[in-house]
Structure 1
């Protein structure tokens, strides 16, 4: 799914557009015991509750694609009879009316989802009439051709509210507040099937994780049978940095790394309005290195390096590996933060036999919040004073003759 497709589904979670037919859920304590369950027609709930549920559903489809939202494909084994995909299809087609399937679903989540505290499993069934699109991209609500029938699951932590005092209007007094168990925003969730090309794709699903670095791959594999789990955003960044360092080796200098950063930033900027995130495969990264000036002899072993670091068919999301908003240079004692658009202000030079970073400054420097003056170039008046000291004012003018400073000083 791309950004537009995710946004289209998110927009349905309002009373005006609601197509949620049924909501089910169960409250699980820290000992993995089911404490209570709900089974309701969604619109039969009090209006105040439906608004709060709408927020939870929107949060389950929030975040960045490739970080918090992952497109997962079912492997062939998972689509075999009796596999995880078939189970989810049965659950969807039951419209959450089959208590046996619901109980089995809850048990699968409880067995495989690691969360040592209380949490609330929320599951909804939705039948969305997909509006047609006119030639200018606007929706044609009276031209619905297909129905996108799907499940959305949200796994929400339930935590005890903080202790405190409150004002009791009935007694006109400040009293101890009763602590309640509060349902927090979702930590994990999924949408099945995926909404690819604005239609149902039963071979894919969308997985949500509030913490991008805590995907719980064991839960994904055991619950859905998906084994090809993308690297986390931080792992992709680390893998990309390793590729640069290992490919360049001792020739990993500032200029080449800066060129890679600039080319990658340009690529991200050029595709920022695209609904599909920019994904770099092995050939794409190889081309990026070549454009950035990595020597040809260093690229001879690139394929093997990439496969060893990420895998032959791995891909890296450009927004995960590009530092679009920062460009930092660090030594053990100094950290320099540079505007990513002004990396041209930094260059390397050999001064007195030492490799140095040279920073071009304008007329403003601030040190610990204090404005300090910059070193101004030598003024003409200063030069004239030195010249007058070297040549007395009484000396005859000889504009066409060469001036011998050594003889004059003598």
Structure 2
């Protein structure tokens, strides 16, 4: 799914936009025991409650593609004949009314979720009459529409409040407030099936993790039986290691700066052009960037081999998982310097009488600990 398709589904989670009539789920304690099950109608809930429930569910479709939101791909054989895919289809096709399927899903989720404390497993079902849009994005009211039915799952921690003193204005008195249980934002969840090319794709699911560094691989393995994607922070660390190991002594400041600038330009151009498809870079493209920096052919081949071995042959990764285009850092064991990515020309490295130096050209005011200083 791309950002535009995700936004289209996110807009469904408004009281006037969706066909969601209920939310169901269960409460799980720290011993992995279901302490209660529930099904709450949104048709009889107050407007404020309905809006809060929909807002909580909608957060499962938030974050950055490639970091918080990841595509889960099923193999063809899984779609044809696998327990995990059949279970997800049963949830969707029954509109969450298949009790055996719902309870089987609860058990799969509970066995694999590694959250501390109590949490909720929330499930909801929606049917979307997808309006036809022309190539220029115009909505055509008279054209036929597709129907996209899907299940959204949100796993939400429950935070227990502490007893406190509260002032009630209507009574003009103080009273003790007891312990209460608050539903926190989703920690993980998914949308199934995926909404690709604005239509149903049962070969994919959209997976969400609030923490990009901890994507709950156990849950992915148990529920989807798919190879979990590499977390975004790990992709960045892996890419950095690839450069160091492949280039060795050729890994200079100038090359890292040039790679940062090229990848940054790619990201910014993608944003300016408002391209719908997620931006991704292949190992071949990275090899081309390194070649433009003058890296020796033998080093390029080493990089290409290590890239394929680490990420997979023909694998692509998000450029935003490779670098932080808003930040440029020069660091030694004792000093860290933050550089405006648009002014990398101010920094250079030199060896003077056998000693390595990082040289920063000072332009404009210079301050130390917030104090403006003069350099004679």
Q: Smaller-chain TM-score range?
A: over 0.9
5+ long unaligned stretches in structure 1: 376-410
> What's the secondary structure of 1:133's corresponding residue?
coil
Q: Deviation per CA, 1:366-388, whole angstroms, max 9, x where unpaired?
A: 1111112233xxxxxxxxxxxxx
Structure 2 distance, partners of 1:93, 1:20, is 15
Q: Offset at 1:18?
A: 1.7
Structure 2 distance, partners of 1:171, 1:42, is 32
Match of 1:259 in 2: 258
5 Å-filtered alignment, 1:374-389, equals: 374-375=375-376
5 Å-filtered alignment, 1:361-380, equals: 361-375=362-376
Q: Offset at 1:347?
A: 1.6
Q: Offset at 1:107?
A: 1.7
Contact 2:247-2:303 at 8 Å conserved across structures = no
> What's the secondary structure of 1:213's corresponding residue?
coil
Match of 2:349 in 1: 348
Contact 1:75-1:225 at 8 Å conserved across structures = no
Structure 1 distance, partners of 2:310, 2:82, is 35
1:315 aligns with 2:341: no
Contact 1:165-1:177 at 8 Å conserved across structures = yes
5+ long unaligned stretches in structure 2: none
Q: Offset at 1:264?
A: 1.2
Q: Offset at 1:363?
A: 3.3
Match of 1:92 in 2: 92
Match of 2:241 in 1: 242
Match of 1:125 in 2: 125
Structure 1 distance, partners of 2:142, 2:49, is 30
> What's the secondary structure of 1:100's corresponding residue?
helix
Q: Offset at 1:23?
A: 2.1
5 Å-filtered alignment, 1:75-90, equals: 75-90=75-90
Q: Deviation per CA, 1:237-295, whole angstroms, max 9, x where unpaired?
A: 01110111011112211111111111111111111222222211221221121123322
Structure 2 distance, partners of 1:21, 1:147, is 17
Contact 2:76-2:203 at 8 Å conserved across structures = no
1:202 aligns with 2:208: no
> What's the secondary structure of 1:299's corresponding residue?
helix
Contact 1:120-1:156 at 8 Å conserved across structures = yes
Structure 1 distance, partners of 2:100, 2:301, is 58
Match of 1:275 in 2: 276
Match of 2:73 in 1: 73
Contact 1:27-1:119 at 8 Å conserved across structures = yes
Q: Offset at 1:40?
A: 4.2
TM-score by length of 1: 0.87
Contact 2:59-2:186 at 8 Å conserved across structures = yes
What is the root-mean-square deviation of aligned Cα atoms in Å?
A: 1.8
Q: Deviation per CA, 1:80-127, whole angstroms, max 9, x where unpaired?
A: 434211211111111122222222221221122222311111111100
Structure 2 distance, partners of 1:283, 1:68, is 26
Contact 2:243-2:303 at 8 Å conserved across structures = no
> What's the secondary structure of 1:129's corresponding residue?
strand
TM-score by length of 2: 0.94
Match of 2:39 in 1: 39
Q: Offset at 1:59?
A: 0.5
Contact 2:162-2:178 at 8 Å conserved across structures = no
Match of 2:289 in 1: 288
5 Å-filtered alignment, 1:182-197, equals: 182-197=182-197
Higher Rg? 1
Q: Offset at 1:144?
A: 4.5
Structure 2 distance, partners of 1:353, 1:151, is 64
> What's the secondary structure of 1:20's corresponding residue?
coil
Q: Offset at 1:43?
A: 2.3
Structure 2 distance, partners of 1:305, 1:134, is 44
